[in-house]
Structure 1
Amino acid sequence: MKTSAQSLNRATLARQLLLRREQLDVEDAVRRVVALQAQEPASPYVALWNRLEDFDPAGLDGALAGRRTVKATLMRLTLHAVHAEDYRPFREAMEPTLRGSRLGDPRFRSSGLGPDEAADLVGDLLGYADRPRTTAELGRRLEERLGAPMEPAAQRMLRQYAPLWHAPTGGAWSFETRPSYVASGARPVLAGPDAADGGLRILIRRYLEGFGPASVADMAQFTLVQRARVRAAVQALGDGLERLEGPDGTELYDVPGAPRPAGDTPAPPRLMAMWDSVLLAYADRGRLIPPAYRKHVTRVNGDVLPTLLVDGHVAGVWRPAVGGIEAAAFHPLPDDTWQALDAEARALVSFLAPRDPRAYGRYGHWWTKGIPAAETRLLGGC
């Protein structure tokens, strides 16, 4: 079966709860969308605001505090918020990537520690982090174990490898700039290919449920797992997956019965979170980001700006401003689209106001350096 680019776009929007806001609790929503990019503390909240009817941020506060939703280094070696029950298989799937990239990093290898010594240190840190521990506390623990200080960069590599969850520290969005860590409650198996391969099969299927149909290259991009491992996982899933043909002839995979709305299904405008997962889930970012706009959205250091989503595709960027939301469109938009974006902006201003009206404020330098806007409007004002 051949599918069109527009149909793929609508499949993503449907599975990511972006065709309409849904009535779901936080944990069910997080599980439905698979993972929320979370290196910027506000982003999981803005992401769920875009997806849930009457979203109360206190629900995510409680899920994080109760460790029903957890924040950890996972796919693409970045921070994600995932359902606690998904953490173990996802972490096992990522074990070879995390081990190679973190313990194999020159900043860790310069410590002179080998894999066995690293394993001993990780085991000790997990026992020590039976309650939330700061970076400084973990550093002192490592110094006690080693009998000498460990370079901060080497410590960071070890922390990112270890199965630690980020513990909420307060602040507007549950996490402040200085992190705190706690041992994961669902301890993954950190050695052996069987656990890694089994976890990857679970992760691939969950990815397709939330982002499919997709190619092997897409799955590898989302996870940062070698394509050979992804292909092996797809082959192991066998008849449990459907095969489709993409618009350019690429072989795509999907889970049977997953939503695939018609390509002309209406898609409402959205003000997407910074680093929203839908913008990072595919090798071909054109599913949602027109190629001409990609460099405007993903900056040279990897920052992915908050975007305007219009008819399912990125049409510009936004930021909080005095008096509302500043929206910069990359191409002219019709008046009715601006009206719909203004309604979204009013709701977003009300959502941000009690916690952090200037969310993402520290990224304003990208606007100072220039956003190539065809039109800029202040939306959501009184």
Structure 2
Amino acid sequence: MGTPHRILSQDELNRALIERQMLRERADLGAFATIERLFGIQAQEPKSPYIGLWTRLENFRAEELEDLLVSRHAVRILLMRGTIHLVSAQDALALRPLTQIKLDRELQSGPFASRLRGLDLDAVAEAGRKILEDTPQGTADAGKRLLERWPDREHTVLGNALRNKLALVQLPPRGLWHRSGRAVCTTLEAWLDQEQHPMSLETLVLRYLKAFGPATVMDAQQWSGLTRLAETFEALRPQLVTFGNEAGKELFDLPDAPRPDPGTPVPVRLLPEFDNILLAHADRRRVIADDRLGVVVGGKPTVLVDGYVVATWSITKDSTITVDYLDSLPPSRQKAVAEECDRLQDWIRT
């Protein structure tokens, strides 16, 4: 009979996640190193990574991230779970090949599947590659060009096929803080002048645990959009430590990763839309209650108090931040939330 796992409480899992996601204390670290340490930042909303970095870093300046995008050290690209992420250039080249299976599956069973039936998707992708590498443009625009060869199809459907079949980077000014623009794309290979080189699944799991552990196999699959990772965890088991959670599931972790005391104080933090801390686990109760997941799905920025989601926030046209509480908080906690909102308002207005 094996040794029983030590059970980690929700508060212990919360503090571990808060620590690894750099939300306990703002770090004196550069944006590039942070993006790699976090293993990517969710970026469906073009400006959300700026808020995500501001809430984690001392003295973060929006220009620092803008420079990374313009200099091609970081890119915005479709990755985990078929969503746009901000990642370092090298992580994009290593992660994007691993997502292809899920993106191909989406084309076969997603909303466009019936309208893609009978189409040679590899031929569409190759034709689209030439168009987008010659002249970066939106995928729907490239789809219109493809109508010359496939006139019986819809340009939006052809464009969606390119979105899934090709590793497409959204080019600046899309994603810049001080100005933005529509999603104009070219291929990752053309933008970086490098070929994709998939990282091993072992490396993927180890980096995931470093950023989000302790975690179950299902947690890692939820974050990545990949399946059948149990074999990878088993291969890594001799290098890892294991725990149990309150639901009786096995958790894996790196031996030397931080697992702070559950009573460790955590300051108020404002999170942007779809922050990865809310999306990186199958069981998200370590940071948000099940009955509140709708605020994440709805794309609302959230407020962490004592490590847990207790409110949503929004910003008006004059950069005033308003808070909608989900819980009744004592005056001292509300004061701390108001002070953090003031700090963000000041940063946005500079």
Select the residue among 304, 312, 315 that pairs with 1:320.
315
Instruction: State the alpha-carbon separation in 2 of the partners of residues 202 and 216 from structure 1.
Output: 14
Code of the residue aligned with 1:250 in structure 2: it is K
Which residue of the partner structure matches residue 279 of structure 1?
278
Q: Name which of 315, 325, 340 aligns with 1:344.
A: 340
Paired position in structure 1 for 2:195: 187
My pick for the range that moved more, 49-58 or 316-325, is 316-325
Alignment of 1:261-276 (within 5 A): 261-276=260-275
The separation in 2 between residues aligned to 1:327 and 1:104, in whole angstroms, is 39
* 1:303 matched residue in structure 2: 298
Aligned to 1:243: 242
Where 2:277 maps in the other structure, the secondary structure is helix
CA distance in 1, matches of 2:157, 2:178: 25
Partner residue in 2 for 1:142: 146
What is residue 200 of structure 1 aligned with on the other side? 201
1:199 Cα deviation after fit: 3.9
- Show the counterpart of 2:64: 59
Length, aligned pairs only: 339
| Residue aligned with 2:233, SS | helix
CA distance in 1, matches of 2:21, 2:298: 21
> Partner of 2:123 in structure 1?
120
RMSD: 2.3
Structure 1, 3-12 or 305-314: larger mean CA deviation: 3-12
What residue is the counterpart of 1:2 in the other structure? Answer: 7
- C-alpha distance in 2 between matches for 1:311 and 1:160: 39
Q: Is the 8 A contact 2:47 2:175 kept in 1?
A: no
Percent of aligned pairs with the same amino acid: 32
- Amino acid of the structure 2 residue aligned with 1:251: E
Q: Distance in 2 between matches of 1:235 and 1:141?
A: 47
Q: CA deviation at 1:124?
A: 3.7
For the residue of structure 1 that corresponds to 2:169, the secondary structure is: strand
Unaligned runs of 5+ in 2: 1-5
Among 133, 136, 139, the alignment partner of 2:137 is 133
One-letter code aligned to 1:324? T
Q: Secondary structure at the match of 1:129?
A: helix
Pick closer, same or farther for the CA change 1:83–1:121 going to 2, 3 Å: same
**1:205-224 counterparts in 2 under 5 A?**
205-224=206-225
CA distance in 2, matches of 1:251, 1:277: 22
- List structure 1 segments (4+ residues) > 6 angstroms apart after TM superposition: none
CA drift at 1:96: 1.1
- Displacement after TM superposition at 1:123 (Å): 3.1
2:17 match: 12
Supply the distance in 2 between the matched residues of 1:291 and 1:105 (Cα, whole angstroms). Answer: 26
Tell me, in whole angstroms, the C-alpha distance in 2 between the residues paired with 1:51 and 1:323.
20
Q: Which amino acid aligns with 2:34?
A: A
Change (3 A) 1:238 1:88: farther
How far 1:236 moved relative to its partner? 2.9
Superposition deviation, residue 171 in structure 1 = 7.2
Give, in whole Å, the separation in 2 of the partners of 1:237 and 1:163.
29
Q: Given residue 285 of structure 1, which amino acid in structure 2 is its aligned partner?
A: R
Amino acid at match of 1:92: P
TM-score (norm 2): 0.89
- Classify the secondary structure of the residue corresponding to 1:61: helix
Task: Label 1:139 to 1:35 Cα distance change in 2 as closer, same or farther (>3 A).
Answer: same
Task: Structure 1: give runs of 5+ residues left out of the alignment.
Answer: 190-194, 355-382
Secondary structure, aligned partner of 1:119: helix
Kindly provide the amino acid, as one letter, of the partner of residue 28 in structure 1: A
Q: What is the letter of the counterpart of residue 309 of structure 1? A: L
